[in-house]
A and B are shown apart, each in its own frame.
Chain A
Amino acid sequence: SQTIHQWPATLVQPVGSPLSLECTVEGTSNPNLYWYRQAAGRGLQLLFYSVGIGQISSEVPQNLSASRPQDRQFILSSKKLLLSDSGFYLCAWSPGQGAEKLFFGSGTQLSVL
Protein backbone atom coordinates (compact mmCIF):
# COMPACT_ATOMS: atom_id res chain seq x y z
CA SER A 1 0.00 0.00 0.00
CA GLN A 2 1.03 3.57 -0.54
CA THR A 3 2.28 5.77 2.28
CA ILE A 4 3.48 9.34 2.52
CA HIS A 5 6.07 10.49 5.00
CA GLN A 6 6.64 14.11 5.91
CA TRP A 7 9.14 15.45 8.41
CA PRO A 8 9.78 17.05 10.75
CA ALA A 9 6.42 17.34 12.50
CA THR A 10 7.36 20.61 14.16
CA LEU A 11 10.14 23.05 13.52
CA VAL A 12 11.17 26.30 15.17
CA GLN A 13 13.61 28.40 13.19
CA PRO A 14 15.03 31.91 13.57
CA VAL A 15 14.40 34.56 10.95
CA GLY A 16 17.03 34.43 8.23
CA SER A 17 17.84 30.75 8.68
CA PRO A 18 17.47 28.18 5.87
CA LEU A 19 14.66 25.65 5.61
CA SER A 20 14.38 22.16 4.25
CA LEU A 21 11.19 20.10 4.60
CA GLU A 22 11.15 16.66 3.09
CA CYS A 23 8.36 14.49 1.80
CA THR A 24 8.60 10.98 0.40
CA VAL A 25 6.01 8.64 -1.01
CA GLU A 26 6.26 4.87 -0.94
CA GLY A 27 4.39 2.16 -2.82
CA THR A 28 3.73 4.01 -6.06
CA SER A 29 5.64 5.39 -9.01
CA ASN A 30 5.49 8.68 -10.89
CA PRO A 31 3.10 10.35 -8.47
CA ASN A 32 2.03 13.97 -8.73
CA LEU A 33 3.42 15.77 -5.70
CA TYR A 34 2.19 18.90 -3.94
CA TRP A 35 3.14 21.37 -1.23
CA TYR A 36 0.32 23.28 0.46
CA ARG A 37 0.31 25.78 3.31
CA GLN A 38 -2.67 25.73 5.63
CA ALA A 39 -3.51 28.88 7.56
CA ALA A 40 -6.57 29.70 9.61
CA GLY A 41 -9.14 31.50 7.49
CA ARG A 42 -7.16 30.97 4.31
CA GLY A 43 -7.71 27.28 3.73
CA LEU A 44 -5.11 25.32 1.83
CA GLN A 45 -2.91 27.46 -0.37
CA LEU A 46 -1.19 25.58 -3.19
CA LEU A 47 2.50 26.46 -3.18
CA PHE A 48 4.11 24.05 -5.63
CA TYR A 49 3.20 20.97 -7.59
CA SER A 50 5.17 18.52 -9.69
CA VAL A 51 4.09 15.99 -12.31
CA GLY A 52 7.57 14.53 -12.80
CA ILE A 53 11.22 14.62 -11.75
CA GLY A 54 12.63 18.08 -12.19
CA GLN A 55 9.23 19.54 -13.17
CA ILE A 56 8.09 22.11 -10.63
CA SER A 57 5.19 24.52 -11.01
CA SER A 58 5.10 27.47 -8.64
CA GLU A 59 1.75 28.93 -7.74
CA VAL A 60 2.63 31.68 -5.33
CA PRO A 61 5.70 33.90 -5.70
CA GLN A 62 7.38 33.98 -2.34
CA ASN A 63 10.41 33.16 -0.33
CA LEU A 64 10.15 29.42 -0.89
CA SER A 65 11.29 26.96 -3.54
CA ALA A 66 10.69 23.29 -4.23
CA SER A 67 12.70 20.52 -5.80
CA ARG A 68 12.05 16.95 -6.86
CA PRO A 69 15.41 15.19 -6.99
CA GLN A 70 13.86 11.72 -7.18
CA ASP A 71 10.58 10.34 -8.41
CA ARG A 72 9.02 10.04 -4.98
CA GLN A 73 10.81 12.81 -3.10
CA PHE A 74 9.65 16.40 -2.83
CA ILE A 75 11.56 19.04 -0.90
CA LEU A 76 10.43 22.49 0.20
CA SER A 77 13.25 24.94 0.84
CA SER A 78 14.11 28.48 1.71
CA LYS A 79 17.47 30.21 1.84
CA LYS A 80 16.34 32.78 4.39
CA LEU A 81 13.15 32.38 6.36
CA LEU A 82 10.81 35.29 7.03
CA LEU A 83 8.35 35.68 9.89
CA SER A 84 5.54 35.36 7.34
CA ASP A 85 6.73 31.86 6.42
CA SER A 86 5.32 30.54 9.68
CA GLY A 87 2.50 28.12 9.11
CA PHE A 88 1.40 24.54 8.68
CA TYR A 89 2.88 22.89 5.60
CA LEU A 90 1.28 19.86 4.02
CA CYS A 91 2.71 17.53 1.44
CA ALA A 92 0.33 15.52 -0.73
CA TRP A 93 0.41 13.10 -3.64
CA SER A 94 -1.99 11.80 -6.25
CA PRO A 95 -1.68 9.06 -8.86
CA GLY A 96 -0.11 10.30 -12.06
CA GLN A 97 -2.81 9.00 -14.39
CA GLY A 98 -5.99 11.03 -14.52
CA ALA A 99 -7.57 13.18 -11.88
CA GLU A 100 -7.71 11.43 -8.58
CA LYS A 101 -7.95 12.31 -4.96
CA LEU A 102 -5.07 13.69 -2.95
CA PHE A 103 -3.42 11.79 -0.16
CA PHE A 104 -2.02 14.08 2.51
CA GLY A 105 0.92 13.80 4.85
CA SER A 106 0.74 14.62 8.53
CA GLY A 107 2.11 18.13 8.07
CA THR A 108 4.89 20.28 9.51
CA GLN A 109 4.16 23.12 11.90
CA LEU A 110 6.81 25.75 11.17
CA SER A 111 7.35 28.63 13.56
CA VAL A 112 9.74 31.36 12.49
CA LEU A 113 10.83 33.53 15.42
Chain B
Amino acid sequence: AQSVSQHNHHVILSEAASLELGCNYSYGGTVNLFWYVQYPGQHLQLLLKYFSGDPLVKGIKGFEAEFIKSKFSFNLRKPSVQWSDTAEYFCAVDSGTYKYIFGTGTRLKVLA
Protein backbone atom coordinates (compact mmCIF):
# COMPACT_ATOMS: atom_id res chain seq x y z
CA ALA B 1 0.00 0.00 0.00
CA GLN B 2 1.08 3.52 -0.65
CA SER B 3 2.29 5.62 2.24
CA VAL B 4 3.74 9.06 2.73
CA SER B 5 6.19 10.05 5.46
CA GLN B 6 6.85 13.56 6.64
CA HIS B 7 9.78 13.53 8.99
CA ASN B 8 9.34 16.86 10.73
CA HIS B 9 6.15 17.27 12.71
CA HIS B 10 6.94 20.68 14.12
CA VAL B 11 9.38 23.23 12.78
CA ILE B 12 10.14 26.64 14.26
CA LEU B 13 12.14 29.15 12.25
CA SER B 14 12.97 32.81 12.41
CA GLU B 15 12.01 35.07 9.54
CA ALA B 16 14.47 34.96 6.62
CA ALA B 17 15.67 31.47 7.55
CA SER B 18 15.68 28.81 4.87
CA LEU B 19 13.12 26.02 4.95
CA GLU B 20 13.25 22.42 3.86
CA LEU B 21 10.49 19.98 4.73
CA GLY B 22 11.04 16.32 3.99
CA CYS B 23 8.60 14.02 2.24
CA ASN B 24 9.17 10.41 1.27
CA TYR B 25 6.69 8.04 -0.31
CA SER B 26 6.52 4.33 -0.80
CA TYR B 27 5.38 3.31 -4.27
CA GLY B 28 7.47 1.84 -7.03
CA GLY B 29 5.53 3.08 -10.04
CA THR B 30 4.73 6.43 -11.59
CA VAL B 31 3.41 8.94 -9.10
CA ASN B 32 1.93 12.40 -9.02
CA LEU B 33 3.16 14.45 -6.09
CA PHE B 34 1.65 17.40 -4.27
CA TRP B 35 2.25 19.80 -1.44
CA TYR B 36 -0.76 21.38 0.22
CA VAL B 37 -0.84 24.12 2.81
CA GLN B 38 -3.38 24.99 5.46
CA TYR B 39 -3.09 28.49 6.89
CA PRO B 40 -4.73 29.08 10.27
CA GLY B 41 -8.49 29.14 9.87
CA GLN B 42 -8.40 28.45 6.15
CA HIS B 43 -9.09 25.56 3.80
CA LEU B 44 -6.37 23.28 2.53
CA GLN B 45 -4.99 24.65 -0.72
CA LEU B 46 -2.53 23.45 -3.31
CA LEU B 47 1.00 24.83 -3.02
CA LEU B 48 2.57 22.98 -5.94
CA LYS B 49 2.42 19.72 -7.86
CA TYR B 50 4.62 17.45 -9.93
CA PHE B 51 3.28 15.23 -12.70
CA SER B 52 6.20 14.83 -15.09
CA GLY B 53 9.08 16.71 -16.72
CA ASP B 54 11.42 19.00 -14.80
CA PRO B 55 11.84 17.49 -11.33
CA LEU B 56 12.21 20.94 -9.80
CA VAL B 57 8.78 22.51 -9.58
CA LYS B 58 7.90 25.99 -8.46
CA GLY B 59 4.73 26.88 -6.66
CA ILE B 60 3.05 29.87 -5.16
CA LYS B 61 4.63 32.26 -2.67
CA GLY B 62 8.23 31.37 -3.54
CA PHE B 63 7.99 27.68 -2.64
CA GLU B 64 9.64 24.97 -4.71
CA ALA B 65 10.01 21.21 -4.46
CA GLU B 66 12.37 18.71 -6.00
CA PHE B 67 11.37 15.23 -7.05
CA ILE B 68 14.22 12.75 -6.61
CA LYS B 69 12.98 9.45 -7.99
CA SER B 70 15.92 7.39 -6.70
CA LYS B 71 15.21 8.57 -3.17
CA PHE B 72 11.41 8.46 -3.41
CA SER B 73 11.44 12.01 -2.12
CA PHE B 74 9.67 15.27 -2.82
CA ASN B 75 11.08 17.83 -0.40
CA LEU B 76 9.63 21.31 -0.09
CA ARG B 77 11.94 24.31 0.08
CA LYS B 78 11.84 28.06 0.46
CA PRO B 79 15.01 30.18 0.61
CA SER B 80 13.65 32.77 3.02
CA VAL B 81 10.51 32.25 5.09
CA GLN B 82 8.13 34.96 6.22
CA TRP B 83 5.89 35.18 9.25
CA SER B 84 2.93 34.65 6.93
CA ASP B 85 4.25 31.18 6.03
CA THR B 86 3.15 29.94 9.44
CA ALA B 87 0.86 27.04 8.54
CA GLU B 88 0.58 23.28 8.35
CA TYR B 89 2.09 21.65 5.27
CA PHE B 90 1.01 18.31 3.83
CA CYS B 91 2.71 16.16 1.24
CA ALA B 92 0.45 13.93 -0.88
CA VAL B 93 0.88 11.19 -3.47
CA ASP B 94 -1.36 9.82 -6.19
CA SER B 95 -0.32 6.74 -8.15
CA GLY B 96 -2.73 7.53 -10.96
CA THR B 97 -5.67 5.78 -9.35
CA TYR B 98 -7.31 9.00 -8.09
CA LYS B 99 -6.50 7.89 -4.54
CA TYR B 100 -4.66 10.75 -2.88
CA ILE B 101 -2.64 9.68 0.17
CA PHE B 102 -1.45 12.37 2.54
CA GLY B 103 1.38 12.51 5.01
CA THR B 104 0.96 13.39 8.68
CA GLY B 105 1.72 17.04 8.12
CA THR B 106 4.34 19.49 9.38
CA ARG B 107 3.39 22.46 11.50
CA LEU B 108 5.63 25.40 10.67
CA LYS B 109 5.87 28.38 12.97
CA VAL B 110 7.81 31.40 11.78
CA LEU B 111 8.89 33.84 14.45
CA ALA B 112 8.79 37.50 13.51
Tell me the chain B residues, 28-50 only, with Cβ under 8 Å from chain A: 32, 34, 36, 43-46, 49
Tell me the chain A residues, 2-48 only, with Cβ under 8 Å from chain B: 32, 34, 36, 41-46
Q: With a CB–CB cut-off of 8 A, which chain A residues contact B43?
A: 104-107
CB distance from A68 to the nearest CB of B (A): 14
Interface size, B (range): 20 to 34
A37 to B46, CA, bound (A): 18
Q: With a CB–CB cut-off of 8 A, which chain B residues contact A42?
A: 104
B9: CB under 8 A from chain A? Answer: yes
What 0/1 readout, one digit per residue, does chain B (82-112) give for beta carbons within 8 Å of chain A? 0000000010101010111111110000000
A94 to B98, CA, bound (A): 8
Q: With a CB–CB cut-off of 8 A, which chain A residues contact B27?
A: none
Among candidates A32, A90, A99, A106, residue contacting B32 with C-beta atoms closer than 8 Å: A99
Q: With a CB–CB cut-off of 8 A, which chain B residues contact A92?
A: 44
Q: With a CB–CB cut-off of 8 A, which chain B residues contact A106?
A: 43
Interface size, A (range): 20 to 34
Q: With a CB–CB cut-off of 8 A, which chain B residues contact A32?
A: 98
Q: Report yes or no: B101 in contact with A46, Cβ–Cβ below 8 A.
A: yes
Q: With a CB–CB cut-off of 8 A, which chain B residues contact A94?
A: 98, 100
**Known contacts A34-B100, A46-B102; A41 and B9 CB within 8 A of each other:** yes
Among candidates B44, B96, B103, residue contacting A90 with C-beta atoms closer than 8 Å: B44
Q: Report yes or no: A99 in contact with B44, Cβ–Cβ below 8 A.
A: no
Q: With a CB–CB cut-off of 8 A, which chain A residues contact B6?
A: 43
Residue in chain A with minimal CB distance to B106? A43
CB distance from A88 to the nearest CB of B (A): 11
Q: Which 3 A-B pairs have the closest CB atoms?
A: A43-B104, A44-B102, A101-B46
Q: Which residues in A have some Cβ–Cβ distance to B below 8 Å?
A: 32, 34, 36, 41-46, 49, 51, 57, 59, 90, 92, 94, 99, 101-102, 104-107
